[in-house]
Amino acid sequence: MGEETERKEETEMKIAAYTYRDFDEARYFQEFGKAYGVEILPVREDPTPENAALAAGCEGVSVLTTDISAEIIRKWSEAGVRHISTRTIGYDHIDLEAAKSCGMAVSNVTYSTGSVADYTVMMILMALRRVKSILKRAEGMDYSLKGNIGRQIGGLTVGVVGTGRIGTHVMRNLSGFGCEMLCYDPMPNPEAQSLGTYVPLEELFARSDVITFHTPATRSSFHMVNAQTLQTMKDGVILVNTARGSIIDTPAFLDALETGKVGAAALDVIENEIGIYYGDYKYQNIGHRELSILKDLPNVLIMPHMAFYTENAVSDMVEHSIQHILNHDGNVLPEHG
């Protein structure tokens, strides 16, 4: 019996979990590591070429949205790692070509769609009701009404760009508000079709009072919102982005905010956020001029990429990352959030 136990321990799969967070992820890594018979090696730092060797002897590595460069991947490959699993839906932070050249599998995860979908509706309502301005005034004991009149979502037209699992959940949430819903996706979803009307992207931009984005970071979605497309939108349009920062051309977006073309915005993601979000920079220069401008605008609500952040979602992220490495799924899962 003792020999069998020893042999089992010797063959137990090992996974190195980088950017391991003790305050929320640890309990799930411990729970699911035990449930799946996997040994979890916690690495609390982000992956770097210098700490890549810590994954030696591990079948796979579990990562978050930090830069996974070709050099890191090469060092992991040399250490015997065969699988990179990101505990996120997006995987644009991973050098996929480098992983392919090293013969390493890459996978992403899915998680409870209600986390982002519910947050999106909250952000839409906060933008429509000028909540940022109301709260900032209230902090200074200013309880006046002037300038803070809001709009009701009922009767407005909401455009949903991307009708995968999250986008469709958003439409489901919005269906009780009495708003008209337009949607766009290269791959129509039957449920979304029952909730709204599919139209070309150009028409959605032109007709929507509020536009919310739920599309992955791809070549076709890169700077989907730019100087030209912004001009086709309604004056005073409200933009909500809980998807990917690269969807919006930030300098053009700032110009549209300054002219009033964009009336308000609620952003959970921005361009070039890697290395900034999830850190504490209150006594430092963050080195991101556009973020500094955006966060000071009274009609722009900035959230630090937290739409996903619920207990349900974190549990899903950890479990699914372990599952993918354990099953050695050799392909990037299609991201259609």
Averages of pLDDT over runs of 10 residues in the chain (337 residues) are: 46 91 98 97 97 97 96 98 95 94 95 96 98 95 96 97 97 97 97 98 98 94 98 98 96 97 97 88 88 94 96 97 86 46
Residue 264 lies in a domain: yes
40 and 150 fall within a common domain: no
Residue 87 bears catalytic tag = no
203 and 289 fall within a common domain: yes
Rounded to whole angstroms, the Cα distance separating 293 from 290 reads: 5
List all residues 6 or more positions away from 169 whose beta carbon is below 8 Å from its beta carbon: 113, 114, 116, 117
CATH number at residue 104: 3.40.50.720
82 and 127 fall within a common domain: no
- Return the sign of the alpha-carbon dihedral for residues 266, 272, 278, 279: negative
Tokens of 286: 């963050």
Residue 237 lies in a domain: yes
* DSSP 8-state secondary structure symbol assigned to residue 85: E
Residue 162 lies in a domain: yes
> What is the residue whose two structure tokens read 């994954």?
55
Burial label, 308 (beta-carbon count in 10 A; 0-12, 13-18, 19+): buried
Q: How far apart are the first and last CA of the chain?
A: 47
Residue 291 lies in a domain: yes
145 and 119 fall within a common domain: yes
DSSP lists the bridge partners of residue 63 as 86
Residue 337 lies in a domain: no
107 and 132 fall within a common domain: no
Question: 130, 305, 320, 336: which one is catalytic?
Answer: 305
Residue 7 bears catalytic tag = no
27 and 169 fall within a common domain: no
Residue 334 lies in a domain: no
Question: 25, 59, 273, 319: which one is catalytic?
Answer: 273
Read off φ and ψ for residue 177, nearest 5 degrees. Answer: -95, -10
Rounded to whole angstroms, the Cα distance separating 265 from 267 reads: 6
153 and 80 fall within a common domain: no
C-alpha 29, offset from chain centre: 21
Rounded to whole angstroms, the Cα distance separating 316 from 36 reads: 14
Question: 87, 244, 288, 336: which one is catalytic?
Answer: 244
The one-letter code for the residue type at 97 is E
Tokens of 142: 């200013």
223 and 85 fall within a common domain: no
Rounded to whole angstroms, the Cα distance separating 112 from 97 reads: 29
70 and 37 fall within a common domain: yes
List all residues 6 or more positions away from 52 whose beta carbon is below 8 Å from its beta carbon: 72, 75, 76, 79
**How big is the chain by its Cα radius of gyration, in Å?**
22
Indicate the number of domains in the chain.
Answer: 2
Q: What is the pLDDT of residue 1?
A: 46
Name the residue range of residue 29's domain.
2-111+310-327
> b/e per residue, 49-66, with b = 16+ CB within 10 A?
eeebebbeebbbbbbbbb
Residue 335 lies in a domain: no
Q: How far is CA 157 from CA 206, 209, 297, in A?
A: 11, 5, 25
**Residues 76, 104 contacting (CB under 8 angstroms):** yes
104 and 181 fall within a common domain: no
Residue 139 bears catalytic tag = no
Smallest CA-to-CA distance from 161 within 198, 191, 108 is with 198
Q: What is the pLDDT of residue 4?
A: 45
Residue 336 lies in a domain: no
258 and 197 fall within a common domain: yes
267 and 130 fall within a common domain: yes
